[in-house]
Amino acid sequence: MLGILTTNTGCKKILEQTPRNSTYAEVYWQSARDCNSAIAGNYSLLRKALTDPGSFDNNAFKYYMYGDAETTASSYFTMNYNGDGLEGIQGGDFTFQYNIETLGDWTNFYKVIAMSNLVLKKVAAIDDKKLANDVEDVQQFKNKIMGQALFIRAFTYFELTKVYGDVPLVTESYEDVIHAPQLPRADRMEVMKQIEEDCHQAMNMLGWGYETNGERAVTANRGSVYALLAHLYLWRATTTNLASDVPVAADVNSADTTLKTLIARGGYTLQDTTNYGAQFIGQSTESIFEIAMSEANLEGASRHIGLAFLTDKYVEGFGKTPRFWVPDSYINTHYKVAVEARGEGWVYYNNNWEWMNLIVFGSKYYIEDDAGQREDVTDLSDAQDGFAYVYYADIDDYKFELIGYGADAKDVRYRNNFDAGGTQGLMCVKYRNVTYRNPSRKTDPYMSNNLVMFRLSDMMLLQAEVALYKNNLNDAVNIINFFRDRNNSASDRVKVSDGKDALMYQYMIERGREMYLEGQLYFDLVRTRMCREFIPWLSDSRFKLGGFFWPIVPTLFQDNGNLTQTLYWRGKL
């Protein structure tokens, strides 16, 4: 806060008056207003850390880059070249100059942590008498502020350790920054232990509800803490030993009880599918924690990743070619269902080949007589070069029909999240709440969607993952099929007889539908080991070396001589 003040105020005025927002103890930290202002600043720093693309004019929205972009150009979305090399991460190379200078820099995250540490230190030390005139219950007020600071610190460290693995662990606030210790990277197990401790402490300080409707989801409560803990336990369960696919049973059990408590006591309800999309604008009934980014408060994003998918069909002045687009391969793996289509092709009968107008559109072939009776001739068919070659001896009074595949147009998520209109693939329109700062001319577009971190659908799906780890296949089947029924999916319903491996794949397909572009899929794939199916560049050997973690920008070593490069990336930068 003092840095902002210095930047925006002349030196003479600084010398002539007492800074209104000074963090000096004798001026600041004297009232409830000071405390509320400080925690609001903490949230603001967190938003900056998750969204700031650096000095480059780019659509790089950090949270989504870390959580979605590394999943290759064919898995979830594809980046068009834009001169910065951002698309390089989809091939597993995180060392392009732009990528390492922005996504490899954790500085903004440590600003969040420093602010959390400051809040924790200062609020605890405030004389209760100074707050008594402002609040009815001083200790409850202090707990609410400090509980949020603990959550923010824990959440920030969770993001850091998922992205970088081992990271410096700072839990003290240093008055003299110049003489603060230069800390090395702490083992990620130690970092996750600290996250767990922070969450348990915050859990006891925060309640389940909100004091005002304006606080819903955008301020942390006990539900936010439980959601973070659930993700922490599952991440730790499956990444403690990178050489093993067997999760840590104790952490799986902890995730199980945490999720059950959260869902039973949190008071969250799923967004009605008739109003699908409201959960991504903000403060819906199913949202557990999100970052406020409403343009109504001038907190919208001009570089939101959602804008990178949109064309002039949605945003005035945009072109026909989006920077990012949804490849057909994603649609084929996640929304491919059987459809009927008639075509043409070669048929061999009566010792001759004849052109029968049958074009390949799938793998099932039928002939149908005039009475509508069908006969499956799939075994007599061979699809090559876009044509169907059908070997059939008697075709009198028969016509040919092809059963093929297409997108599941009935699925609520497909209908609402994707649209045609660009020169390549489909657009993701999940984030399309665009507001113009110059509305009369429709210029200066800003995205006004809150950044959703945790929501109820996420937690319910995690229960299926827990069930699979515990070999409770029936529970996993029920959860996966619940989401398919709820969203009117035409996909086959899964069965216990499909087996654990196939169910884990279908679970990841369901998360890929539900959580598309919510900053989680990359970590989901790492956690479940489904990266083997969706991330070709992440080999088992690279995985065991922690090759999914990011390197850190070399300039960080200039300020801290105790730092070392991420293990996998040593010698590669």
Q: Could you report the per-residue pLDDT of 558-571, keeping only the tens digit for each?
A: 989 999 999 999 99
Residue 2 pLDDT more than 60? no
Residue 261 pLDDT more than 50? yes
Grade residue 86 by pLDDT with cuts at 50, 70 and 90. Answer: confident
pLDDT at 544: 97
pLDDT at 154: 98
The model's pLDDT over 262-291, given as tens digits with 9 standing for 90+, comes to 999 999 999 999 999 999 999 999 999 999
Q: Of 548, 525, 559, 562, which Cα lies nearest the Cα of 167?
A: 562
CA atoms of 455 and 447, how far apart (whole Å): 20
| Mean pLDDT, residues 239-262 | 98
pLDDT at 381: 66
pLDDT at 53: 60
Q: Is the dihedral of CA 356, 362, 363, 367 positive or negative?
A: negative
Residue 313 pLDDT more than 50? yes
Burial class for 436, CB neighbours closer than 10 Å (0-12, 13-18, 19+): middle
Q: Which spans in 126-248 are helix H?
A: 128-132, 138-164, 188-205, 222-239
pLDDT at 394: 58
Percent of residues in the chain assigned helix, strand, coil, to nearest 5: 45, 15, 40
To 5 degrees, how large is the angle CA 444–CA 446–CA 447? 160
Residue 384 pLDDT more than 90? no
pLDDT at 303: 83
Task: Please state, in angstroms and as integers, the Cα–Cα distance from residue 382 to each residue in 338, 396, 402, following that order.
Answer: 18, 21, 13
| Mean pLDDT, residues 197-217 | 96
Grade residue 385 by pLDDT with cuts at 50, 70 and 90. Answer: low
To 5 degrees, how large is the angle CA 108–CA 112–CA 116? 165
pLDDT at 1: 40
Compare 372 and 89 and report the one with higher pLDDT: 89
| Mean pLDDT, residues 131-135 | 93
pLDDT at 176: 72
CA atoms of 165 and 356, how far apart (whole Å): 60
CA atoms of 67 and 60, how far apart (whole Å): 12
Q: How many CB atoms lie within 10 A of CB 355?
A: 10
Every domain of the chain and the residues it spans? 1-30, 34-269, 332-407, 453-537
Facing residues of 403 across strands?
340, 364
Compare 390 and 476 and report the one with higher pLDDT: 476
pLDDT at 12: 33
Q: Percent of the chain, pLDDT > 90?
A: 73
Reading the block at residue 239, the tokens are: 């990444």
Contact 470, 248 (CB under 8 A): no
Least confident of 9-18, 84-93, 190-199, 268-277: 9-18
The model's pLDDT over 399-420, given as tens digits with 9 standing for 90+, comes to 666 667 789 999 999 999 999 9
| Mean pLDDT, residues 346-373 | 67
pLDDT at 35: 97
Least confident of 208-217, 281-290, 298-307, 346-355: 346-355
Reading the block at residue 279, the tokens are: 């959960």
The long-range contacts involving 128-132, CB below 8 angstroms and separated by at least 24 positions, are 130/30, 130/31, 131/31, 131/32, 131/35
Burial class for 414, CB neighbours closer than 10 Å (0-12, 13-18, 19+): buried
CA atoms of 213 and 209, how far apart (whole Å): 10
The model's pLDDT over 144-161, given as tens digits with 9 standing for 90+, comes to 999 999 999 999 999 999
Domain 34-269 has CATH 1.25.40.390: yes
Reading the block at residue 515, the tokens are: 């959580």
| Mean pLDDT, residues 69-95 | 90
The model's pLDDT over 37-70, given as tens digits with 9 standing for 90+, comes to 999 999 999 999 998 765 444 445 889 999 999 9
The model's pLDDT over 9-42, given as tens digits with 9 standing for 90+, comes to 333 332 333 333 444 556 789 999 999 999 999 9
